[in-house]
Structure 1
Amino acid sequence: MHRPALTLFVACTFLPLAAHALTLTDDLQLMLKPAVVSDYRSRGLSLTLGDPAAQLDATLLHSSGAYGGVWTSNVDFGLNYKTRLEQDFYAGFFKQITDDVSLDVGYLKYTYARQSDFNQSEVYAIVKAYGFKFASYYSNDLQTYLGKDQDTLYTWLGYSYALPADTGLEVRYGRFDFKDDVFVSGSGDTRGDYHEWEARLTHSAVGVDWALAYIDTDLSTHECTSYYGYGDVCTATVVVSASKTF
């Protein structure tokens, strides 16, 4: 499942059309963003069992604020799951309301090759104001071991601050809420939600955007294993990444 900052780069550089993009027409541009990460973490969880991932984001941007694109990454869920590829298709609309306030709304479709039971869709809204960001993602077609079409709601609050020397600080705190209690603790207690957080330093050098992030969740090892099959995909980690926008 795609990282929560799916449209973050769009929200930062959308209007006017991004300077680092390929011009197709007067109103249409194509933005390409390849990236490598030491661990593909989504909502605090590793989707590569702690291994690195290569990713690519391709977005069409229109001067009206409309956009659409595809994001892809290798994945590894272990166990007997066959999929090794995630492809996310998205479309939305970005509106710069004032110099300091913007709204981004859209639709996401997650797809997994050879494992279509993992496919899922979401609608989302992201509000950015004075350095703060609030996002909400809702789905009603997640499939869990409790059945199909399970409702989920993922929300997060973040803040970005520009530091000297092309360096930035980003922090985020999120909550992922499932319709049913899918997490089981070692004592047998159950719950249907968890919290995750991230602190990230970013820096631009030699034409590449670098990032160093600390990521963690409040899921115990037993709770993590009860739903995801492994106890170490929810634990604290440091992720290093490099990306470049064309």
Structure 2
Amino acid sequence: MRAAHPHLFFGLALLSQASHAVPLTEDMNLQVKLSALSEYRSRGISQTLGDPAAQLEIILIHNNGLYAGVWTSNVDFGSAVDAQGQQQRLDTRQELDYYAGYYWQISDAISLDMGYMKYSYPKNSEFNMSEAYAIFGAYGAQLGVNYSSDVENYFGKHQDTLYTYLGYKTLLPAEVGLDMRYGRNDMKDPAFFAGDGNTRDGYREWQVRLSREFVGLTWELSYIDTDLSQSECALWYGYTDSCSATVVVGVSKAF
């Protein structure tokens, strides 16, 4: 049901160069980031049913490239049908992610970021999952791969999932940042059912984000969409508009 929910750290490979990190020791730095968004979307899918989200991230960064962090956000998955066929409100209101990895700056323009991430949802542990990831960056472009073997399918059994994406990051005039991403989320078993009876085991999503620093804050505007139809979205996620095109406004502050 929630196979596409995990948080995507687009730009995670730049953490070791974070200008806002606070030095703890000669080799260790700490970064804290607070964010407020008009909606929390992950891989194109709404995690808050269109409502706003408040998010917190804390990262420890070692000068040798090792890092570890925790990230959290409010979520709202609405309701689900129980074993008796009754609609039941899902209890979880929080996503809590733990991750650790290694960032390798191969040259000024080329980098490799590899790590492991664990996603947990208090009160709805059936959504918990883990993922290994790798991000190769070169001259502003990014190729990312995320693999999981413990996402639940319709029958409550674990299945393999593979998320791959291409991204590009650059700086426009007036110090406006531009991030673009095109990704595909694939599952081992058929997961998306259309109104005509056709099924498929994956979908595509894309995002274009503009950002700019102003009065000590980072402001961003994103356009997000998927190729899932309303019927596919409703049968897998429970709501017709959770996968539709949207504009998300956000503001963040790093310490």
TM-score (norm 2): 0.93
**Correspondence 1:12 to 2:14:** yes
2:176 aligned residue: 167
Aligned residue type for 1:104: D
> For structure 1, which segment, 116-125 or 140-149, has the greater mean C-alpha deviation from structure 2 after superposition?
140-149
2:212 aligned residue: 203
2:95 aligned residue: 86
Of residues 113, 118, 123 in structure 2, which corresponds to 1:104?
A: 113
Aligned residue type for 1:130: Y
2:232 aligned residue: 223
1:60 aligned residue: 60
Residues 166-210 of structure 1: CA distance to partner in whole angstroms, max 9, x if unpaired?
A: 211111100000111111001000001000001111111101111
- Quick check: 2:153–2:189 contact (8 Å CA) kept in 1? no
1:29 aligned residue: 29
- Change beyond 3 A, Cα 1:7–1:60: farther
> Which structure 1 residue ranges, 4+ long, deviate > 6 Å from structure 2?
none
Aligned residue type for 2:7: R
SS of 1:165 mapped into structure 2: helix
Of residues 110, 114, 134 in structure 1, which corresponds to 2:143?
A: 134
| 1:13, distance to aligned residue in structure 2 (A) | 4.4
- Quick check: 2:225–2:243 contact (8 Å CA) kept in 1? yes
- Change beyond 3 A, Cα 1:147–1:230: same
Residues 142-175 of structure 1: CA distance to partner in whole angstroms, max 9, x if unpaired?
A: 1121332110000110111211222111111000
Of residues 175, 185, 191 in structure 2, which corresponds to 1:182?
A: 191
**Partners in 1 of 2:155 and 2:106 — Cα distance?**
42
Aligned residue type for 2:187: F
**Partners in 1 of 2:246 and 2:203 — Cα distance?**
17
Equivalence map 1:228-243=2 (5 Å): 228-243=237-252
- Give structure 2 stretches of 5+ with no counterpart: 80-88
Aligned-pair RMSD on alpha carbons?
1.0
> For structure 1, which segment, 162-171 or 106-115, has the greater mean C-alpha deviation from structure 2 after superposition?
162-171
SS of 2:235 mapped into structure 1: helix
Aligned residue type for 1:46: S
**Partners in 1 of 2:123 and 2:156 — Cα distance?**
20
Residues 5-29 of structure 1: CA distance to partner in whole angstroms, max 9, x if unpaired?
A: x161x422414xx331111100001
1:75 aligned residue: 75
**Partners in 1 of 2:47 and 2:164 — Cα distance?**
19
SS of 1:117 mapped into structure 2: helix
Percent pairwise identity = 54
Aligned residue type for 1:163: L
TM-score (norm 1): 0.96
Aligned residue type for 1:245: A
Residues 113-166 of structure 1: CA distance to partner in whole angstroms, max 9, x if unpaired?
A: 100010000000001101100100000001121332110000110111211222
The number of aligned residues is 242
1:120 aligned residue: 129
